[in-house]
Amino acid sequence: MTKSMTLDKKKVFRLSASWVAKMAMLTAISFLLYYLGHFIKLPFMFPSFLDFQISELPALLAGFSMGPISGCLVIVFKCLLKFPLSSTMYVGELTDILLGVAFVLPASIIYKIFKTKKSALYGMLVSTIFATGMACIVNRWISIPFYLNLYFGNNMNGIVGMLSSLYKGITVDNFWGWYLGVGIVPFNLLRYIIVTLVTFLFYKKLSKILHWDGTSLRKKKEDESIIDEDGVYYSASVEDTYKLAESICEGLQGNEKIILEGELGAGKTTFTKGLAKALGVQEEITSPTFTIMNEYDSGKYPLYHLDMYRIENEEDIYELGIEDRMDNGITIIEWNKYKSLTGKIIVVKIDVLDETHRKFTIKEHQQ
């Protein structure tokens, strides 16, 4: 009898609801930071019309936790909320969308690919440089030309006069060098660096909330499975992974084959150590990458830990005689090459969400 663990309509709806809830929360925070930026000025350093706001922070959190598209959507939604209040015929909002996406997108993509703390920091530094360069381009060719036409009738003397008290040597001829080089570049570098530092310091602390999938956060009862009805379990630590392994161990009766699927570093060995501990294995658990199979006899059932990464195909296993040593025990298989396994099969798929968080999907069938 096959126990299907695929997502049903109820699960899809719940995940969609959690995405909407998180997006709404992050967009609201972003808009609040965006609005408060109008009251934060650094006129002793930068032009008074530059708002020192860090509203990209929630968008960056969305990009890291839910993906680059979600991060960019927070930027867009935040600016759309400001559209009714626009005093610039939406050019200011368009500028903020372009620069916000330029900052959030590169960092989110880099983090999505590598998912490490170092890659997050590297991605934000890349974004800082890229978005600052985009700020120069957008101000030179979109924002300032528009403001010159709207407020000064394309007369450069008007805007030069506004900045003359701040930049003593500014003239019509050297305006762009002063404005972009002394104003826009350090202004954006400063605020993007602040966003980078705050994100780097607080993302991990907020990560559990940001990866919430819409399921209850209450504690499980002792007699209640920690695996949801779709076979999904989220781990935020080694201890959480051990709890999952212990839960699976409670249903084992001997002769089960557990297939572990996941990329390098996903946590397959950690899961195996947790299962071995739950079985009462006394020996130290080590990776069988070079030995192909490790055998442990001190637990409730014999435990066979098999790594088929260096095995070409199923026939090689038979030639090595490994199959004959797996009776009546629990067999854990990494990089499975078997095509004709029989008995109770438990497939544990591990998806890496970030440096510490994992999503486990458990499928169980008899064949």
What confidence tens digit (pLDDT) does each residue in 195-252 have? Answer: 999 998 888 777 767 766 555 444 444 445 678 777 889 998 899 999 999 999 988 9
At residue 327, the pLDDT reads 65
Cβ atoms within 10 Å of 328's Cβ, excluding its own: 8
For 38-94, what is each residue's pLDDT tens digit?
777 787 789 888 888 899 999 999 999 888 999 999 999 999 998 887 777 888 889
For residue 167, what are its two tokens?
């930049």
At residue 16, the pLDDT reads 59
Distance CA 161, CA 148 (A): 12
What type of residue is 279? L
The CATH number given to 232-366 is 3.40.50.300
| Distances from the Cα of 290 to the Cα of 286, 303, 321, angstroms | 10, 18, 16
Top-level class of domain 2-210:
mainly alpha
- With 50 as the cut, is the pLDDT of residue 1 above it? no
- Name the burial class of residue 327, with classes exposed (0-12), middle (13-18) and buried (19+) by CB atoms within 10 angstroms of its CB: exposed
In the chain, where does the domain assigned CATH 3.40.50.300 lie?
232-366
In the chain, where does the domain assigned CATH 1.10.1760.20 lie?
2-210
CB 354 within 8 A of CB 64: yes
CB 49 within 8 A of CB 93: no
> Higher pLDDT residue, 316 or 222?
316
At residue 321, the pLDDT reads 62
At residue 191, the pLDDT reads 94
* Rg, C-alpha atoms of the chain: 28
At residue 322, the pLDDT reads 63
